């Protein structure tokens, strides 16, 4: 079966997030003074063939560990895996 | 008239080639006027350059944050009134983000920053940088960017091409187009474009780094010469 | 088993004992953390000090020698060139992009802390073979990180080195050199008048849990054991913040608002404060409540040793503090008063009104341990020397050997690397990457700084003394080839575990080699950095003394390039001996890393430099190029490729061609002159006692080794340029 | 009340996504031959004070339109807004 997986890769908590810092710093000038804790990460979407959601999730996790993230500074989260009929 | 054309160069936090642009203006016989991102004031200059660099680190998207700087309201008003505005590299990205030019600049196709001398072909005389040049002229200038691949929606691109808004294309030393000459994978080898009125131009290459023969080729000289004469020609709004 | 805290922090029992006796009591854990950070190998140089003292550091043009944030050299017109090299190998081995990026940030702050504007970066690098995809990942990440940071702060990267060797696979070597310029009288050195009561202002980024113990753990323990706890110590660089920090710092210096300026690097606030105080012969009081934090709940010892990037500490007269604040604010940087200098030598740390640490500033900064560790040559050393390719029977044809060496990644073109670097920003780059040395002009003058970085890993493995001396000689030669006079060096000494006698022997020999070469070439040492523990298990990296040479050319319009033009006569200056020991030919063609490295006669070397500078200054030369890795054949090929012009030469000497083509004899350069200037060059060479042999002529589209083989310049150029991209494509 | 918002910004479908292609291209070498359609986007997480989820969502959309995404090349999706009690 065909699955679509969505993975979010973000910097480990506690690490400086320059992008988030820059976005947060620019918001007040745009009139938004009520925002905090901005963090910017990477979003990866991919399709894969697998027999069963478990197999799919298992592979996605291994891909995320080896290729999509560097465990030294990043954590990842498989936010969704769902079957895609057809296309 | 003996008065020198006054060319403003805006410094944003993270601008890098602002000094180089001021130096190039002076080298070509103009008066460079430093402008500051936080000031709502263009000091009555005859033309404005948004220089290269990494404004606000180019975090999020290149130019995405700089476009909201106070000075940009003035630049937009200046442009609407017909004032000459030139965006170089990061300046080009800022103009696109601000909607003063169509399209956008995204990550180079090869996913790597590229610093290299290239050739560009002038496509039109209608722009603050090409008034003294004719279409077909080939210039040698450097590029240095990680996100210089020009893209636009199909409608935008059709209009840009249809109405001749393309000012520069990457090419070979003979002016021939070809993928191998395009350092970033830009649509239609586009290196620079203008707005409809023809008073705003943006380009990825760095003409300000190509005026002093002691440090390289001089393909930027005719572009700055054009800018200075157009600036002299028109009464600043 | 839980080991005692001091050991967990990298302090030995003896070190703890001496801390006890200085304090006259037990240190508390905050104090222990401060000592651990300051007395780490990285900060205290405890294993290397005794040797580094033997380096020549004096000279008529030396303004600031070792011991400051960076060294400074008088380059005329009352201007000083400030430069230093540093290693960021350990973090780069586990997070190549951020590890290398923060390496750039750190060395740039060292130069800024002297009050100089950074105008150039060089990045000598070593990796394992590109056949391994981890090594490709490391190279791609490190280069992207150096570019990502350097490009974003607007300092051109104008040179470096890239070499490959298996022992560098687990431990890549990432060194970064930064060069700056400042009016000599405005240099911010500890010589400045710093008074009791002066205020300590911390400005720049907020402080977080970055690289806590990073120095003492990351840099003082080998990757292997406890890779896991070292991991969180990698930091994320913020080049945008650094750019603002540079501009703010230089504005503070220009406006004369500072008594002192310190970057915060290894050991963070503890290091910056204790050094500022110790240098002034004073103590200090600091209040940790004032330090802006990035997250809640940092413990005192974390704030004290955090290595959060993009921070600076200014020493300011009390009546200037408001002006300093205003400048920082204009650049969008937080600036807070964290303390002041006080009489007596004590560094007192307060938080929430209570004193958490009280130690002698000098004991932290200047009275760290010092070891004369045992040293002895590895047993296998003689076998290595005896396995000499010079005497091997060679079946490979000269043409095949030529192609093999030309496409070896050590020799091949490095444009894949330097095209990812902005080498022209600031508008001063007269000569960027690709030549023997880069030339960066000094604004408002006709002078340019000539910069080259060189290390000789293979030679170093076979004979650390010669390896280091050759590195000094080659970097000076690279500079002289452009017509510039070599003036001074900085260095980064990359070695394995100093607790092993073989490594300590390699280190001591290397320092001896640098000292002798720098004395003979009159290029004193202005500073440097030592990176130990570059090993996993018992396989250390090749002993690599990386040399950063700085020279000056009086008129950059007379600078010489390596590019051939048509119609010139080609000369080889210097003499070729049968010396294939440790050569590229040996490794690439015969698969042998062994033999005796070429001999080095420093008097001959110096004579060659004098000839090169004289010949360039009188405009004799069409081209000049260092003849080193890959020998005469590669020097000729590189000049042909650079100029798109061929040549025809006869290899001198009656040995088999591969000796004359690939021997790496020292003190040689390939020169080309217009025939009308030939006698002039010959006379000059004779006058200086430099052997000079005419090899042939330039011109045409072909590379021609008479009676040996020929190929087109175009073909050679393609091989040279495509080698590394092809290896990276896997 | 305090809300945490999660926004995903992705390149428009028509646009070449070299990063996605690079990831996809490197998977087979690692033994994963069953993956396709890799797209890489940006993930933004932020906290904001607002009276009510609707107000929060409304502001998040405006921030996404004006700053977090560029309509010429990107689309955005507010994947989640949920109340955060306390810190
Ligand atoms: N990592 C690098 N970064 C920037 N430039 C580099 C790098 N590696 C090599 N180069 C440049 O490539 C050219 C050739 O390098 P190298 O072979 O070490 O020169 P040489 O043998 O004359 O010392 C030099 O100009 C050098 O600055
Ligand atoms: Mg070299």
How many Cα atoms are found within 13 Å in the side-chain-facing hemisphere of C682? 10
Distance CA A3, CA C118 (A): 52
Closest residue CA from atom 24 of ligand 1: C434
**A40 contacts in chain B (CB < 8 Å):** 59-60
What residues of chain B, 40 to 69, have a C-beta less than 8 Å from chain A? Answer: 56-57, 59-60, 65, 68
pLDDT at C231 over 80: no
pLDDT of residue A86: 56
Contact yes or no for A16 and C231 at CB 8 A: no
| Entry pTM | 0.95
Contact yes or no for A70 and C208 at CB 8 A: no
Give the model confidence (pLDDT) of C347-378 as tens digits: 999 999 999 999 999 999 999 999 999 999 99
CA distance C19 to chain A (A): 32
B111–D contact, CB cutoff 8 A: yes
- Residue from the list A11, A22, A71 with its beta carbon closest to the beta carbon of C236: A11
How many angstroms is it from C103 CA to the middle of ligand 2? 21
Query: For residue C259, what are the CA distances in angstroms to C33, C201, C318, C502?
Result: 28, 11, 11, 44
pLDDT of residue C223: 42
pLDDT at C725 over 70: yes
Which of D25, D48, D79 is the mutation pick for testing A, counting most A CBs within 10 A? D48
Dihedral of alpha carbons C257, C261, C263, C264, sign: negative
Predicted confidence band of residue C212 (pLDDT cuts 50, 70, 90): low
CA distance A72 to chain C (A): 6
Atom of ligand 1 nearest to the CA of C481: 22
Give the model confidence (pLDDT) of C441-478 as tens digits: 999 899 999 999 999 999 999 999 999 999 999 999 99
Which chain A residue is nearest to residue B60, measuring alpha carbons?
A19
Give C692's contacts (C-beta < 8 A, 6+ positions apart).
C571, C572, C573, C681, C682, C685, C686
The DSSP call for residue C332 is T
Which chain A residue is nearest to residue D25, measuring alpha carbons?
A67
Closest residue CA from atom 27 of ligand 1: C159
C245–A contact, CB cutoff 8 A: no
Phi, psi (deg, nearest 5) at residue C75: -115, 20
Which of D12, D14, D18 is the mutation pick for testing B, counting most B CBs within 10 A? D18
Predicted confidence band of residue C191 (pLDDT cuts 50, 70, 90): low
B119 within 8 A of B178, measured Cβ to Cβ: no
Which chain A residue is nearest to residue C227, measuring alpha carbons?
A72
Give the model confidence (pLDDT) of C151-169 as tens digits: 999 999 999 999 999 999 9
C474 within 8 A of C628, measured Cβ to Cβ: yes
The DSSP call for residue C655 is S
C200 within 8 A of C314, measured Cβ to Cβ: yes
How many angstroms is it from B181 CA to the middle of ligand 2? 31
How many Cα atoms are found within 13 Å in the side-chain-facing hemisphere of C310? 25
Active-site annotation of B, residues: 89, 206, 208
Distance CA B49, CA C8 (A): 56
pLDDT of residue C210: 84
Closest residue CA from atom 8 of ligand 1: C161
- Residue from the list A34, A47, A63 with its beta carbon closest to the beta carbon of D37: A47
A45–B contact, CB cutoff 8 A: no
- Residue from the list C240, C419, C429 with its beta carbon closest to the beta carbon of B54: C240
Which of B65, B97, B107, B111 is the mutation pick for testing A, counting most A CBs within 10 A? B65
Other Cβ atoms closer than 10 A to D73 = 21
B91–C contact, CB cutoff 8 A: no
Residues with CB under 5 A from ligand 2 (ion): C 454
Looking at per-residue pLDDT, the higher value among C609 and C296 belongs to C609
Distance CA C83, CA C90 (A): 22
How many angstroms is it from C111 CA to the middle of ligand 2? 24
Pocket around ligand 1: residues whose beta carbon is below 6 Å from it?
Answer: C 123, 125, 157, 159-162, 414, 417-418, 433-436, 452, 454, 478, 626, 628-629
Q: Which residues of D43-57 are buried (b: 16+ CB within 10 A; e: fewer)?
A: bbbbbbebeeeeebe
Which chain D residue is nearest to residue B62, measuring alpha carbons?
D70
pLDDT at C186 over 60: yes
Closest residue CA from atom 22 of ligand 1: C436
Closest residue CA from atom 15 of ligand 1: C161
Give the model confidence (pLDDT) of C526-536 as tens digits: 999 999 999 98
Q: List, as one string, the DSSP characters of A56-75.
A: HHHHHHHHIIIII--TTTEE
**B202 contacts in chain D (CB < 8 Å):** none
- Residue from the list A16, A22, A72 with its beta carbon closest to the beta carbon of C210: A16
**Ligand nearest to the backbone CA of C158:** 1
Give the model confidence (pLDDT) of B190-222 as tens digits: 999 999 999 999 999 999 999 999 999 999 999
Give the model confidence (pLDDT) of A67-76 as tens digits: 999 998 999 9
Contact yes or no for D73 and B109 at CB 8 A: no
Atom of ligand 1 nearest to the CA of C157: 4
Query: For residue C692, what are the CA distances in angstroms to C120, C669, C687, D60?
Result: 35, 10, 11, 75
CA distance B39 to chain A (A): 14
Distance CA B110, CA D79 (A): 30
Averaged pLDDT score across all residues of chain C: 94
Predicted confidence band of residue B152 (pLDDT cuts 50, 70, 90): very high
Which chain B residue is nearest to residue A40, measuring alpha carbons?
B60
Contact yes or no for D23 and A43 at CB 8 A: no
Q: What is the mean pLDDT of residues C482-491?
A: 98
- Residue from the list C231, C237, C294 with its beta carbon closest to the beta carbon of A72: C231
**Ligand nearest to the backbone CA of C434:** 1
Mind listing the pLDDT tens digit of every residue in chain D (87 residues)?
999 999 999 999 889 999 999 999 999 989 999 999 999 999 999 999 999 999 999 999 999 999 999 999 999 999 999 998 754
D13–B contact, CB cutoff 8 A: no
Q: What is the mean pLDDT of residues C208-236?
A: 55
Closest CA to C723 of C36, C75, C298, C129: C129
Predicted confidence band of residue C2 (pLDDT cuts 50, 70, 90): low
- Residue from the list D19, D22, D72 with its beta carbon closest to the beta carbon of B104: D72
C523 within 8 A of C549, measured Cβ to Cβ: yes
Contact yes or no for A18 and B57 at CB 8 A: yes
Give the model confidence (pLDDT) of C603-646 as tens digits: 999 999 999 999 999 999 999 999 999 999 999 999 999 999 99
Contact yes or no for D14 and B104 at CB 8 A: no
How much of chain C exceeds pLDDT 70, in percent?
96
Which chain A residue is nearest to residue B66, measuring alpha carbons?
A26
pLDDT of residue C112: 97
How many angstroms is it from C223 CA to the middle of ligand 1? 28
**If 0-12 CB within 10 Å is exposed, 13-18 middle and 19+ buried, where does residue C297 land?**
exposed
C68 within 8 A of C82, measured Cβ to Cβ: no
pLDDT at C80 over 70: yes
pLDDT of residue C440: 98
Cross-strand pairs, C261: C314
Closest CA to A41 of D15, B104, D68: D68
**If 0-12 CB within 10 Å is exposed, 13-18 middle and 19+ buried, where does residue B126 land?**
middle
Taking each helix axis as running N to C, give the angle between helix C464-481 and helix C501-521, from 0 to 180 degrees, rounded to the nearest 10.
Answer: 30
Give the model confidence (pLDDT) of C53-76 as tens digits: 999 999 999 999 888 889 999 999
Contact yes or no for B68 and A19 at CB 8 A: no
Distance CA D5, CA D2 (A): 10
Closest CA to D83 of D44, D42, D55, D43: D55
pLDDT at C539 over 90: no
Predicted confidence band of residue B123 (pLDDT cuts 50, 70, 90): very high
**A66 contacts in chain C (CB < 8 Å):** none
pLDDT of residue B140: 98
Contact yes or no for A38 and D50 at CB 8 A: no
For residue C661, the Cα-to-chain-centroid distance in whole angstroms is 30
């Amino acid at each position: 079966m065909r699955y679509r997986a969505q993975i979010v890769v973000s910097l480990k908590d506690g690490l400086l997030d320059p992008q988030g810092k820059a976005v947060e710093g620019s918001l007040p000038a745009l009139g938004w003074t009520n925002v905090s804790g901005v963090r910017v990460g990477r979003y990866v979407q991919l399709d894969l063939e697998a027999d069963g959601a478990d197999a799919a999730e298992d592979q996605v996790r291994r891909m995320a560990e080896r290729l999509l993230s560097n465990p030294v500074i990043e954590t990842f989260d498989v936010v969704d895996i769902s079957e895609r009929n057809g296309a | 008239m003996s008065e020198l054309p006054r060319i403003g160069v805006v410094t944003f936090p993270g601008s890098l080639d602002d000094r180089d642009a001021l130096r190039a203006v002076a080298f070509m016989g103009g008066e460079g006027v430093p402008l500051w991102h936080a000031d709502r004031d263009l000091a009555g200059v005859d033309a404005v350059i948004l220089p290269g660099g990494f404004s606000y680190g180019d975090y999020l998207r290149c130019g995405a944050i700089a476009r909201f700087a106070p000075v940009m309201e003035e630049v937009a008003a200046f442009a609407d009134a017909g004032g000459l505005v030139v965006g170089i590299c990061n300046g080009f990205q800022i103009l696109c983000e601000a909607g003063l030019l169509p399209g956008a600049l995204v990550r180079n196709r090869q996913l790597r920053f590229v610093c290299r001398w290239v050739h560009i072909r002038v496509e039109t005389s209608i722009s603050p940088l090409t008034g003294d040049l004719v279409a077909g002229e080939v210039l040698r200038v450097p590029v240095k960017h990680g996100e210089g691949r020009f893209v636009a929606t199909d409608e935008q691109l059709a209009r840009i091409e249809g109405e001749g808004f393309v000012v520069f294309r990457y090419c070979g030393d003979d002016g021939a187009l070809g993928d191998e000459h395009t350092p970033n994978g830009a649509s239609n080898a586009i290196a620079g474009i203008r707005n409809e009125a023809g008073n705003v131009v943006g380009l990825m290459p760095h003409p300000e780094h190509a005026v002093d023969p002691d440090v390289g080729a001089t393909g930027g000289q005719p572009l700055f010469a054009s800018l200075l004469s157009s600036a002299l020609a028109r009464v600043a709004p | 088993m839980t080991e005692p805290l001091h050991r967990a922090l990298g302090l030995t029992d003896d070190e703890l004992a001496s801390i006890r006796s200085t304090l006259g009591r037990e240190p508390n854990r905050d104090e222990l953390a401060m000592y651990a950070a300051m007395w780490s190998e990285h900060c205290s140089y405890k294993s290397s000090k005794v040797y580094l003292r033997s380096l020549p550091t004096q000279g008529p043009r030396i303004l600031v020698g070792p011991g400051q944030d960076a060294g400074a050299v008088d380059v005329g017109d009352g201007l000083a060139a400030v430069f230093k090299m540093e290693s960021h190998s350990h973090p780069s081995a586990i997070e190549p992009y951020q590890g290398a990026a923060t390496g750039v940030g750190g060395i740039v702050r060292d130069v800024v802390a002297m009050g100089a504007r950074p105008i150039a970066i060089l990045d000598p690098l070593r990796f394992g073979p590109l056949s391994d995809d981890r090594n490709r990942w490391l190279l791609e990440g490190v280069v992207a990180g150096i570019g990502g940071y350097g490009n974003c702060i607007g300092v051109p990267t104008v040179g470096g080195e890239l070499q490959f060797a298996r022992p560098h696979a687990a431990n890549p070597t990432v060194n970064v050199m930064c060069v700056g310029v400042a009016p000599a009288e405005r240099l911010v050195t500890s010589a400045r008048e710093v008074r009791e009561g002066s205020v300590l202002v911390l400005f720049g980024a907020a402080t977080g849990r970055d690289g806590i113990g990073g120095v003492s753990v990351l840099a003082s323990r080998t990757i292997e054991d406890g890779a896991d706890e070292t991991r969180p110590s990698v930091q994320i660089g913020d080049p945008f913040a650094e750019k603002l920090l540079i501009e703010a710092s230089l504005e503070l210096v220009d406006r004369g608002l500072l008594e002192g300026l310190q970057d915060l690097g290894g050991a963070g606030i503890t290091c910056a404060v204790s050094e500022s105080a110790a240098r002034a012969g004073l103590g200090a009081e600091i209040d940790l409540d004032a330090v802006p934090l990035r997250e809640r709940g940092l413990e005192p010892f974390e704030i004290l040793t955090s290595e959060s990037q993009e921070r600076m500490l200014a020493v300011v007269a009390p009546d200037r503090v408001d002006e300093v604040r205003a400048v920082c604010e204009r650049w969008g940087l937080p600036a807070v008063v964290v303390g002041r200098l006080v009489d007596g030598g004590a560094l007192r740390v307060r938080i929430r009104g209570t004193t958490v640490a009280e130690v002698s500033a000098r004991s932290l900064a200047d009275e760290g341990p010092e070891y004369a560790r045992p040293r002895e040559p590895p047993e296998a050393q003689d076998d290595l020397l005896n396995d000499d390719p010079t005497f091997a029977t060679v079946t490979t044809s000269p043409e095949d050997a030529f192609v093999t060496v030309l496409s070896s990644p050590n020799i091949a073109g490095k444009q894949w690397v330097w095209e990812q670097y902005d080498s022209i920003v600031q508008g001063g780059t007269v000569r960027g990457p690709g030549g023997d040395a880069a030339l960066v002009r000094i604004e408002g003058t006709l002078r340019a700084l000539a910069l080259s970085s060189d290390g000789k890993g293979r030679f170093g493995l076979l004979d650390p003394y010669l390896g280091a001396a050759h590195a000094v000689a080659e970097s000076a030669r690279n500079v002289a080839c452009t017509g510039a006079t070599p003036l001074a060096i900085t260095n980064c000494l990359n070695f394995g575990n100093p607790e092993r006698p073989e490594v300590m022997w390699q280190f001591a020999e290397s320092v001896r080699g640098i000292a002798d070469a720098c004395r003979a070439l009159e290029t004193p040492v202005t500073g440097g950095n030592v990176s130990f523990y570059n090993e996993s298990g018992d396989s250390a990296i090749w002993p690599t003394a990386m040399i950063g040479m700085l020279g000056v050319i009086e008129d950059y319009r007379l600078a010489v390039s390596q590019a051939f033009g048509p119609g010139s006569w080609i000369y080889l200056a210097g003499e070729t001996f049968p010396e294939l020991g440790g050569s590229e030919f040996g490794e690439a063609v015969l698969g042998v890393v062994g033999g005796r490295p070429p001999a080095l006669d420093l008097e001959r070397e110096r004579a060659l430099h004098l000839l090169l500078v004289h010949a360039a200054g009188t405009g004799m030369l069409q081209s000049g190029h260092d003849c080193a890795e890959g020998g005469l054949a590669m020097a000729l090929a590189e000049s042909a490729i650079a100029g798109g012009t061929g040549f025809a030469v006869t290899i001198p000497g009656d040995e088999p061609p591969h000796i004359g083509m690939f021997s790496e004899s020292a003190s040689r350069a390939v020169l080309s002159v217009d025939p009308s200037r030939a006698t002039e060059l010959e006379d000059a060479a004779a006058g200086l006692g430099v052997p000079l042999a005419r090899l042939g002529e330039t011109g045409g589209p072909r590379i021609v080794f008479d009676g040996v083989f020929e190929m087109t310049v175009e073909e050679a150029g393609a091989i040279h340029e495509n080698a590394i991209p092809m290896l990276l494509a896997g």
